[in-house]
Copies of this chain bind each other. A is one copy, B any other.
Amino acid sequence: MDHPAIGEAVTETEIEQALQSDCDCKDGMFPQGKMGTASRRAFLRGSGLLTAAAAIVPVKAFGQDAAGEGPWSVPGEIAKSDYGQRASFETVKRLASFGGTSSLTPLQAGVGIITPSRLHFERHHNGVPTIDPAQHRLVIHGMVDKPMKYSVEDLKRFPSTSRILFVECSGNSNAASRSANQKTVQEAHGLTSTSEWTGVRLSTLLAQVGVKDGAAWVLAEGSDGAMLSRSVPIDKMLDDAIVAYAQNGEAIRPENGYPMRLILPGWEGNINVKWLRRLKIGDKPFMTREETSKYTDLMTTTGKARQFSWVMEAKSVITFPSGDMRLPGKGFYEISGLAWSGRAPIERVEVSTDGGKSWGLASLQEPVLPKAHVRFRFPWHWDGGEAVLESRATDQTGYVQPTKAFLTRNEGVGPTYHYNGIQSWKVLADGSVSNVLQA
């Protein structure tokens, strides 16, 4: 594909001047004794004859120094960083919401599928506890032959598993179901993230304690102030549940459950109990607050509420372009976004630029992992007119991400949880992008 509008033409003369201003060398070669000022300084500094501090000189852009004013390259400091930092020019950050009880992932700035641990969304019901991993224990009891408690070190002794998985708060984008007040994709959809989680399979732990006949449910309880607890069918625990102690190759972050949390692939965030301290095996659900007064889905069409609606259904959202951005001008843009399903791998993602009248197939970034964010991309030539951008995910069960209209018809004004309606971004002629409610 040709993109003539991108970039700036340059001449060999300009390039040669810039190179000369940089040093007496060409094509990156440094013949003995022919290094120019910049390179000689760099050489001395590299050998430690100048202090590292003095060495930090922001690099000049190519062309700026065609007049020979200064180096196009820049000697650096000898890094002594044992735990790196991002560049000082970078300012992407999470956004606190719900009175600071959650922080939203900046999806608009994301690329690929991995969410940096520092930007993974968080939601807590009574703050983030400070837990000494040497003191923490996980207890497994109830309908078992042998009640046991395990330290973090104990868990690391067991066979381990790692999976790249999304975790999404069941309340993610619920406000989007009723209004377009949330300007950005971070505000509207920032309660979902993807990490590589590592830990021990719960099936391995349950084999140790010996589950009694008739066991059907497991109470999972956190050691945070809220002692958040949920009931989990034992079948899910035996299928693919993980007690995770690591996230993206290092210890789980405090706000994500340090030193250990439950991971239930594809299920709503709150049941992936963080700061996990106790698993009690029983024969019926424990009917905790979080599954009775909270986290049930009221269907205003029938007046009834869904309970134990754990699975996050197929969903997608365009992250570029998205709300509060401004396109610099007409021409080529790559529409990009994320799709995920808690039920089955993503089968396809379709993109519309005319508010859902017509759809085209997006390309999916390989590998397409089950129960993980999938990055989709769709080439778009913006003609400068008004456009409404939408994405629609379908998973391998054949389930198609619904419209808001469909959900309203079937569930009413919209439950507080599990909203997965299609998101619409409107592009105006001036290039501004805004959140609009789909009809």
Q: In the complex the two chains form, is B6's CB within 8 Å of A157's CB?
A: yes
* A415 at interface, CB cutoff 8 A: no
Q: In the complex the two chains form, is B112's CB within 8 Å of A246's CB?
A: yes
Known: A84-B120, A154-B6. A225 touches B46 (CB 8 A): yes
Chain A residues with a Cβ closer than 8 Å to the other chain, count: 151
Query: In the bound complex, how far is the Cα of B124 from the Cα of A46, in angstroms?
Result: 10
Top 7 A-B residue pairs of the complex, sorted by shortest distance between their CB atoms: A76-B127, A28-B229, A42-B225, A75-B225, A112-B162, A82-B93, A61-B135
Q: In the complex the two chains form, is A246's CB within 8 Å of B111's CB?
A: yes
| B contact residues around A52 at 8 Å (CB) | 127
Q: In the complex the two chains form, is A286's CB within 8 Å of B29's CB?
A: yes
| B contact residues around A64 at 8 Å (CB) | 135
| B contact residues around A250 at 8 Å (CB) | 86, 90, 92, 109-110, 116, 119
Known: A56-B130, A148-B7. A139 touches B208 (CB 8 A): no
Query: In the bound complex, how far is the Cα of B278 from the Cα of A411, in angstroms?
Result: 57
Q: In the complex the two chains form, is B251's CB within 8 Å of A129's CB?
A: no
Residue of B nearest to A149 (CB): B10
Interface bits A33-53 vs B (CB < 8 Å: 1, else 0)? 000001101110110100010
| B contact residues around A87 at 8 Å (CB) | 131, 133, 251, 253-254, 258-259
Known: A89-B132, A208-B3. A84 touches B255 (CB 8 A): yes
Contact of A10 among B88, B96, B119, B139 (CB under 8 A): B139
Known: A124-B79, A227-B23. A249 touches B114 (CB 8 A): yes
Known: A28-B221, A55-B127, A149-B7. A249 touches B115 (CB 8 A): yes
Residues of chain A from 1 to 26 with CB closer than 8 A to chain B in the complex? 1-4, 6-12, 15, 22-23, 25
Q: In the complex the two chains form, is B89's CB within 8 Å of A277's CB?
A: no
Residues of chain A from 265 to 293 with CB closer than 8 A to chain B in the complex? 275, 277-278, 280, 286-289
Q: In the complex the two chains form, is A78's CB within 8 Å of B103's CB?
A: no
| B contact residues around A249 at 8 Å (CB) | 110-116, 119
Contact of A332 among B80, B157, B226 (CB under 8 A): B157
Would you give the shortest CB distance from A265 to chain B, in whole angstroms?
13
Known: A80-B96, A113-B196, A225-B45. A58 touches B7 (CB 8 A): no
Query: In the bound complex, how far is the Cα of B208 from the Cα of A432, in angstroms?
Result: 28
Residue of B nearest to A41 (CB): B225
* A398 at interface, CB cutoff 8 A: no
* A297 at interface, CB cutoff 8 A: no
Residue of B nearest to A101 (CB): B78
| B contact residues around A42 at 8 Å (CB) | 126-127, 225-226
